[in-house]
Every structure is written in C-alpha cells, then in structure tokens.
Homo-oligomer: A and B are copies of this chain.
Amino acid sequence: MTVANSTPPKTETEAMSVADSPFLQAIVQQIRANDPYGTYRNWADELLLKPFIMSKAEKREIPVEGDIDPMTKGRIFAFYRAIAARIEEETGQLATVVVDLSHEGFGWVLIFAGRLILVSRTLRDAQRFGYASIDKMAKEGEKLTQKGVEMATKYSEVCDL
C-alpha cells in the first residue's frame, strides 16, 4: 500500500482533529502500539485514521462474500481496543475485547470486565467496516465508551468477579 505523504482531504466542514478527541487519540495509540517495525513512525495521526473513513459508495465497492481482509480486521480490533482502553482509563477496570467473526463478515464484538459485558455489538458486513467521517467515528467511539463506563459504574460488583 502506497500512501501519498499529504494531509487527509477535509470534508465539507472542517474535520475534527485528533487532539480534540480522547477516543481518536486512543485509536492512534492502538495503531502505533501494533507497529513493531516503525512503519508509521513519521505518519501524522490523521493519516493513520484515514483508512477508517469510507463513503457509502466506497463501501458498496467492497464485496461482502468471502473472507474479511486482515487490514479491515485489524481496524475493527483497533477501534474496539481503543474503547476498552478508554473505559480502563475512566474506571480502572481491566477490559478485554473478544471478536468472533465468521468468514461471511457476520459476528460479535464484546468488551468485558470480570463477568460484566461493557459493550456488546453484532457485526454485519464487517468487510465494509468504516465511518462516513472522522467526526462520526469519534462520536460513536465516545458514545460506546460512555455507555461502557456507565455499565462498569452501575454494576461494579460484577466487574470484580
């Protein structure tokens, strides 16, 4: 994959910057943590997040038959691990991510602490995982984080099992 060393194109409204969102920072951290050869060392944060952003037309071009691309799987992991990391920061509970993906792009993502499920999502057409804009991705990540934090707070006893 070759990537032009330029800033990502702006959407109609000025795109959110990574500095504005603790969740986007957490995703960037996940990606950099999984970069043993330093491939992304000199990449801007915004550039790292570019593959997460996809228009509806771009999504339609991706076939949903057959296996999920390993890069796409990596992005799904990074997204949910970032949520787990954010919940850990907020609650101090150790959160684990489990992804059960069939070869048809259908499956489950669970984030759990102890015996409590903090985030539970079903995935469909996971081959087309992506968000319409960086703002939408940030909002979705923050929302799931918030709900996870609420669960962990309300049922902390079950987290500690």
Contacts and interface: CB of A to CB of B under 8 A. Distances in A.
A108 B98 contact: yes
A100 interface: yes
Interface size bracket, A side: 10 to 19
Interface string A108-119: 101010111100
Interface in A70-105: 96, 98-100
A34 interface: no
A100 to B, nearest CB: 4
24 contacts: A96-B108, A98-B98, A98-B100, A98-B108, A98-B110, A99-B100, A100-B100, A110-B110, A110-B112, A112-B117, A112-B120, A114-B117, A115-B116, A115-B117, A115-B120, A115-B151, A115-B155, A116-B116, A116-B117, A116-B158, A117-B117, A155-B155, A155-B158, A158-B158
Interface in A105-146: 108, 110, 112, 114-117, 120
Which 5 residue pairs spanning A and B have beta carbons closest together?
A: A98-B100, A115-B117, A98-B108, A100-B100, A99-B100
A97 to B, nearest CB: 9
Contacts of A99: 100
